[in-house]
Structure 1
């Protein structure tokens, strides 16, 4: 009897000690993306089944991946906080804001950068040559007022043009619109929207139309190439699902490699998957622009972060970009 009780105690202790390690990872992963060519790596993962492929390599035979499309980072962050989303993606602004606000709770961090791309502020107003020429009669469409990466970049540009204390000078002119709706509003010429701060491919499609000109590029504001989009998740999800997390990173890396290896095929795939009306040649030219790069390396993220901290959007300033990202990308030459 004593030996049986001893065996029971030993087994119970073993189950207690190793139970968490043996806990199964989630059977369904929910991933969100947004519209535009900047999300092409996630489109590759979705349409080529790369996430599932690498999950199998990690020993997870049947992983269900559910994809959804959002029009901005704000609603995506809400879904992540509520537990209805596992991987979010969007601009540096929404990501940095959520990193700051969740440091003592769910601890959101970056999984990887997605790309480096310039963002253009375009206008159809012939009187606007620089941002100093905007008046109360102008309305600027962008994904999300004050929080989108376009909104933050506009504030940085305003600080440079009007003085740091006037960083929000142009905020009253901004209107929240998805990329497609913003482009339609700008090109219609009929409504109040006279300018659009957007992203590829929409900014190039706008500039192809008569009467539309570029007022500003985000690279001018940042002083060089900068990360546009980031993927982020919670520390709890990463720690509870190490195999799935590793599979996601591997799948994303393969997607980036496939895009960079054959950009013409990437252009064909983008049009096929997005259902957008454009030509392969136009999309190929966009992908071939030396200013556009699909990369996992965070670039100039700290310039955005420094500004957001300076104006009070972020309460805490990280010591470096690595403090905001999980270790899997720390070996990259980020900034």
Structure 2
């Protein structure tokens, strides 16, 4: 167990870069799903590995051993090393949990404050704020709202406003805030997963860009609306909550270039490199999940042996 348990903690160092490269070769929607699923899988496996280390170390303590009816010390590796690893894992879990709870509370407070500012929901999904700073974003909740300031409305032409609203509406209907929340929470479980957060955000914005272009039936109009919205908001500090997605966020020039390219989306770049990276990513995910499961099974067997339930 002491050897297999380290794999879920090390594999994100390889899997995260591979996932980013593969996502660049996919259309936006599959890329968003792939990156989010990869991030969650690696986060769960690494957290489980830390938990197993803590349990293995705790079993060496006499009170815990007595509570578990252990008649002999469990075979969990070198005792000093296991104890040291368990202490470090416990500290990391405590810090991660505290940071995660704080992040969730902050996001919830921001959303509640933003929704209170909207007042009671009116007909439709559009809320206009009297604010000279140009801004527009999708505010998740029940019901979801498209929030736009008077400054943004003045900066865009009527047709461009419709494209912008279609972009934000795509965020709401696709529940993109859940993808973003999953990425942010997973990044708190393992430092290497933080590098996937910008890629997931970019994939979600590209997903909404394509939905907006399809809704208005004009890719050039969608690209122009996004570009002008970003230019209008470039000097205005955003007043939106952190959990909200906005058309003016992210690498806008890349998104505009993709909209102005041929076809409904940038052509996927398939080839030998993409296939190799896909194999590396799949191997990392399988190994991470398999190692966590193997470590848990090994620990369970060690506990049974220590309890005298098996002779092996």
TM range (shorter): under 0.3
| More strand per residue | 1
| More helix per residue | 2
Structure number with bigger Rg: 2
Q: TM-score, normalised by structure 2?
A: 0.25
Highest RCO, 1 vs 2 (Cα 8 Å, sep ≥ 6): 2
